[in-house]
Amino acid sequence: MKEILPAYNLLYISAFLACVLLIISFDIKKVYYKKYDFLVGCFIIIGLTYLFGSRDFSVGTDTPRYLMAFQFIWRTDSFSEAIISPFVARDPYFNGISYLFSKVVDIRGYFYVLAFLLVAPLFCAAYRMTNVNRSLVLVAFMSLFCIPNFGVNIMRNGLSLSFAILAITYLKDNKLKIGIAIASISVAFHLSSIVIFFMYVLSSFIKNKWYVLPVFFGSIFLALLKKGLKDLPIIGGIVRNQERLMAYNQEGGGISSLPLSYLLMHLATVAFALYLSTVIKDKFYHKLTITYMLLSSFYFLTSTMAFSYRFGILAWVLTPIILIYPLMTYRIFKRFQFTKLLGVIFVLALFSLYILNI
């Protein structure tokens, strides 16, 4: 991933500065330049698509696997044979989608298509979340440390989670048919995203967000003791029978632990969400707060697995929305609303750099 980080950081800084100009006009002059905002958003989408799509095939630990998978699928004329590609065997629907792409693009075009499908849903989600400063939503996502990894290594996870975020924006507005359809695409790209939708639906039945706190802190306590889902009564037996879950631990060759930086990120985000959810009284934000806490608890309980970050990202991708949605939607601050929002994004970016040890 470090091969693309210099270019990624340059793109991020450029987009960030472009948003500064937009925020100054909106926050101080009270003028919103819609076309400028749209152009900045297009600049981000095109820049990320080119950056991820044009990377060398040797960049990234997972890139060679996607390369071999596409070449295998491209050589076969049988759809049924394509979906059982041994290179991406765990997600046959992803192979099916790749098979359709293989009929119209070559391998380079395939990577461009995947890169575009990674960022385009976020652009659409930004348009559904707010009427102003939509490019700032994309900058917030770019601030998250796992986004470059989505474009290079864990691409199926990234695609799945981008569509999951878009699906949530439709479910939020009770557009169930479209939301469920997009959620199905999300799960088709990677099965793990079903956990997000399960937690989001579960949050609808939890009226008091404070009831989730014992679960949240209890899972942290177990994680610090290096205990997890597989050690819990009843649930542990179910987990141990899940081949895919246990494969992560076996592939890692050992027991992992909960990084302090990740723990601090979850604690800070939950504290922020709990406070603002009591201020704005927004039903969607209430559900989002509970969903994030449940997903965080799930991550803590899987942190003993060597590849636990694959479960952590289920919560991490919601962090930008947790931080910016209430500031985008409500006049919490009487003056300089978006300037303060820019500060939140800047802090998120600095923390991401700390986690990456850059």
The predicted pLDDT at position 358 comes to 46
| Long-range contacts, stretch 248-252, CB < 8 angstroms, 24+ apart | 248/305, 248/306, 248/307, 248/308, 248/310, 249/304, 249/305, 249/306, 249/307, 251/306, 251/307, 252/305, 252/306, 252/307
The predicted pLDDT at position 39 comes to 94
Instruction: Count Cβ atoms within 10 A of the Cβ of residue 88 and give its class: 0-12 exposed, 13-18 middle, 19 or more buried.
Output: buried
Residue 242, pLDDT > 70, answer no
- Section 130-150 average pLDDT: 87
The predicted pLDDT at position 253 comes to 41
Q: How crowded is residue 36: how many other Cβ atoms within 10 Å of its Cβ? A: 14
Tell me the pLDDT tens digit for each residue of 176-223.
999 999 999 999 888 889 999 999 999 999 989 999 999 999 999 988
Tell me the pLDDT tens digit for each residue of 39-82.
999 999 999 999 999 888 888 777 888 888 788 788 777 777 77
pTM reported for the whole predicted model: 0.87
Tell me the pLDDT tens digit for each residue of 1-28.
677 888 998 998 899 888 888 888 877 7
Tell me the pLDDT tens digit for each residue of 269-292.
999 899 888 888 889 999 999 999
The predicted pLDDT at position 240 comes to 52
Q: How far is it, in rounded angstroms, from Cα 189 to Cα 289?
A: 25
Percent of the chain with pLDDT over 70: 86
Q: How far is it, in rounded angstroms, from Cα 270 to Cα 344?
A: 14
